A and B are shown apart, each in its own frame.
Chain A
Amino acid sequence: MNRLEKKLNELKISGLKAFVPYIMAGDGGIEVLNERILLLEKFGATAIEIGIPFSDPVADGPTIQQAGIRSLENGTTLSKVIKELEKFRDEISIPIILMTYMNPIFAYGIEKFVQDINNAGVDGCIIPDLPIEEEELISHLLDTADIELIRLVTMATPRERIERIAKLGKGFLYTVTVKGITGTRNGYGAEIADFLKMVKDISPIPVLAGFGISTRDQVDQFSSYCDGVIVGSKIVELFANNDLSQIEELITPIQIMNKIM
């Protein structure tokens, strides 16, 4: 069984919640990637989402856009990130998920990409500009390599489409809780709660909420309606400001909830 699936299943059976932080690979230099992952693991991250920088990230807000620009200026490439992961994968025990737009994969070569991330011990992939209509470009290869393709549903996705996507889903269902790009928040509490409950009701696999989750209260609130949360822009910002204690504090509510359970 895939490491990510196994980990999330374990949490689910014990009634525990997942916390998945996102970091931009190469922001602060490729050499800090390993230590940042290890730090997040120490703080209690369930799995880690590693962003690959792209020149035109249309699903991302200003925080992740800027991190991507800094990373590209540092000379980060998909190939360098894969090599780096391969080097220290054994030191990390939590699952690793790559988040990349489709074009860097396409330029790398789709088959070679799947083969190389498999060798580097990557457990899942999130491709924000690859809806289910186009996923056959890569999904069968990921399936064969036992790497989970994480599908997304959003507040603009109608119920029957959520059902279709959830049925295809692997690992967890990434549930976007804003109408917008990463790092924004525009929804009302009750609307989001209802939406998350509906997705949770439909989905045969764990449901994680993401986009625009930036405070302890939100981490607490959102994870109470589903199986856990993904925090991106806020973590990226805190790393950029070297504010490590704040990162630890963000993860804390989940730790407390998990202890009570």
Chain B
Amino acid sequence: MKTYNLPDEKGHFGMFGGRYIPETLMQAVLELEEAYSEAKREPEFQAEIQRLLKEYVGRETPLFLAENLTRHSGGAKIFLKREDLNHTGAHKINNTIGQALLAVRMGKRKIVAETGAGQHGVATATVCALLNLDCIVFMGEEDIKRQALNVFRMELLGAKVVGVNSGSATLKDAVNEALRYWVANVDDTHYLLGSVMGPHPFPMMVRDFQSIIGKETKEQFLQAEGKLPEAIVACIGGGSNAMGMFYPFVENEEVKLFGVEAAGEGVQTPCHAASLTKGKPGILHGSLMYLLQNEDGQIQEAHSISAGLDYPGVGPEHSYLKDIGRVNYRSITDGEALDAFQLLAKLEGIIPALESAHAVAYAIQLATQMNETENIIVCLSGRGDKDVDTVRNKLKGAE
């Protein structure tokens, strides 16, 4: 592949991306873009991020050869990139550290964020506590019910959690409310978006902050095996862990990239979150991207057992990478993810987040189609402590 250098200066990845937002937010977004492009080039800013990632988050995270899982699957070797070992239990904090430091640099000491499962909310509240910033998190009432412990965690960390009742009362509606709040408080508030979505520069900036995952993985694997892996697998809701993992490998065409969406109860049913598999391009939350929508352009609700994948859109860069064929997008059902969740716990002593279990499930399928000299790396984006209740209830129900 020739040099990959996207987005363009207006934030477009081909036709995708852009800045489809109310005029009230344009100035804030333009200022953010400028502040980020300055900060990016500044060694002290980068050094402060690196210091916090090392000393506070606990990076680098290990790359672990899952021998038992490999033996069980039969075929390619399966490695796990252990983002679950980060402080707060997922990759989300890689992005919140970067954006919070940028907000401080811009003189904004108030942070607003959205959260679905609560992982991004917790990672945001954590960094706000560390840097002494005011933090307000919008969360759908449905998700507040499903993830009561994470609500309490955010409150312990000093954040104010505001329930959202509009629409389906889940992540999509929390983003709407966070955007409305930002429109009204744009002078002193930074919107700390949690995924590779939203208006430019968010998809680029969040990708950059998350690409530490792929950079470390590349070095670790090269050092261990002296070559690049044959395949990489990551789960996709908005797509931030996948984008962070894929980005450093995009130009290495010999590495096959697989993004795994949530098929919920099946992509042939109305209950799924497979925006790339079943959606079509459209505009929501500031960006042109693949969206689950009806023929009149009304956004549809997404469904997944994993709250973190329960979003009807997918980042614009994934939308582009799908259209040019660089990344293969697949989907995994609730049931398959549940099986992989339990399997990884029993075989490796690692309880993955339900989101990450989607990637594990697909990697097992993929391994059987490859031979023993080949290698697959799975981005294990988070740990499953938050999901134990959901899984227990689900398994009880199935009995």
Contacts and interface: CB of A to CB of B under 8 A. Distances in A.
Interface of A: 54-59, 61, 65, 72, 77-79, 101-108, 128-131, 133-134, 151-158, 161, 165, 176, 178-181, 184, 186
B282 to A, nearest CB: 5
Nearest to B27: A156
Contacts of A180: 24, 180, 183-184
* Residue from A58, A72, A101 whose CB has the most chain B CB atoms within 10 Å: A58
B20 A130 contact: yes
A104 B23 contact: no
Interface in B125-184: 166-167, 172-173, 176, 179-180, 183-184
A106 B172 CA distance: 19
Contacts of A151: 23
A69 B282 CA distance: 20
Given A55-B299, A107-B293, A176 B23 contact: yes
Contact of B19 (A57, A65, A134, A155): A134
Contacts of B338: none
B283 interface: yes
Nearest to B11: A133
Nearest to A211: B24
26 contacts: A56-B167, A56-B285, A56-B299, A58-B285, A59-B22, A59-B180, A59-B183, A61-B180, A72-B298, A102-B283, A103-B282, A103-B283, A103-B291, A103-B299, A106-B281, A106-B283, A106-B297, A107-B295, A128-B22, A130-B20, A133-B10, A154-B22, A156-B24, A157-B27, A176-B23, A181-B184
B26 interface: yes
B20 A56 contact: no
Nearest to B297: A107
B21 interface: yes
B364 interface: no
Nearest to A153: B23
A154 B293 contact: no
Interface of B: 10, 18-28, 166-167, 172-173, 176, 179-180, 183-187, 281-286, 288, 291, 293, 295-299
B291 to A, nearest CB: 8
Nearest to B281: A106
Given A54-B298, A56-B284, A152 B23 contact: yes
B18 A134 contact: yes
Nearest to B25: A156
A129 B21 contact: yes
Which secondary structure characterizes the binding site on chain B?
Answer: mixed
Contacts of A58: 21-22, 176, 179-180, 183, 285
A104 B19 CA distance: 17
A186 B181 CA distance: 13
B23 A154 contact: yes
Nearest to A60: B180
A65 B166 contact: yes
Nearest to B179: A58
B26 A131 contact: yes
B298 A131 contact: no
Given A130-B20, A133-B19, A134-B18, A161 B176 contact: no
A56 B176 contact: yes
A165 B26 CA distance: 12
Contacts of A156: 23-28, 186-187
Given A103-B293, A106-B282, A161-B27, 12 more contacts: A56-B299, A78-B296, A106-B281, A107-B297, A133-B10, A134-B18, A152-B22, A156-B186, A157-B27, A176-B24, A179-B183, A180-B24
Contact of B184 (A55, A105, A184): A184
Contacts of B19: 131, 133-134
A257 B271 CA distance: 57
A104 B283 CA distance: 9
Contacts of A186: 184
